[in-house]
Amino acid sequence: MSQNPDTWLTRFHRLGSPPSFYRLAGILMPFIAIICIALFVAGLYGGLVLAPPDYQQGESYRIIYIHVPSAWMSMFVYAVLAATSAISLIWRMKLAEAVARASAPVGAAYTFLALVTGSLWGKPMWGTWWVWDARLTSELILLFLYLGYMALVAAIDDRRTASRAGAVLAIVGVVNLPIIHFSVEWWNTLHQGPTVTKFDQPSIAISMLIPLLLMAGAFKFHYLYTMLARVRVEILDSERRTAWVNTLVTSKAS
């Protein structure tokens, strides 16, 4: 007996509805949290204990296990923000709006962390806390884009209008992502060039690379968990007058 060809498509669209996504996120979050904690423990132990000191930077290089994943995530989350903003702008999906709103503060936190840890790393390496380097400046612009998105969305009372205005800003800001990524190749900068992505001539030992990749995975799962938790709050806020939310609140209270 063959299934109705629309069955899987219907299920996919059902996941995009706020009640279904709210329930699914609640189921997935505990598993995501366990994976995230395990990756953080393994990555930090490998990076801070097992990995050897760098032959040039000594022990100070270990800040890369926070700095590099947070810098990667600052760009990854903005790409998610821009993509979901485009979806909400074109197809008016409430769930896409919720993901965009939920992602912005998390991405801003990663960007701020990347800037702070980069400054702490730069002082012993470059002799200064900050320079108007192409990589640093474009990363700072990324932080302003996050803050601008959040400020714009918060400044407009109508939720749908605010999401559309924020979506336009987020999409325009995508042009900054390739500038951040290729800045060390396009311009002569103090910031070191790519190391992990140099597959032809790797610039990082495998004993240092594995903990870095584990930390990158930990940050990914941290974002996923935090984003899902914030999306659930966004859904409850936007759907607070609906029957299913009233039923949910009543069942939790009883």
Q: Give rounded-to-5 percent helix, strand, coil for the chain.
A: 80, 0, 20
pLDDT at residue 247, as a whole number: 86
pLDDT at residue 214, as a whole number: 97
Say which residue the tokens 């395990």 belong to. Answer: 38
Sort residue 92 into left (φ over 0), alpha (ψ -120 to 50) or beta: left
d(CA 100, CA 164): 11
Strand partners, 58: 54
d(CA 74, CA 109): 8
The helices-and-strands tally (H runs, E runs) of the chain is 9, 0
pLDDT at residue 10, as a whole number: 59
- Top-level class of domain 31-253: mainly alpha
Residues 6+ apart with CB under 8 A from 5: none
Phi and psi torsions of 12, nearest 5°: -65, -45
pLDDT at residue 199, as a whole number: 45
Q: pLDDT by residue (tens digit) across 10-49?
A: 555 666 788 999 999 999 999 999 999 999 999 999 999 9
pLDDT at residue 61, as a whole number: 87
Cβ proximity of 165 and 157 under 8 Å = no
What 3-state class would DSSP assign to 210? helix
pLDDT at residue 58, as a whole number: 79
Angle in degrees, 0-180, between the axes of helices 176-186 and 134-155, rounded to the nearest 10: 170
Residues 6+ apart with CB under 8 A from 30: none
Residues lower than pLDDT 70 in the chain? 1-15, 184-203
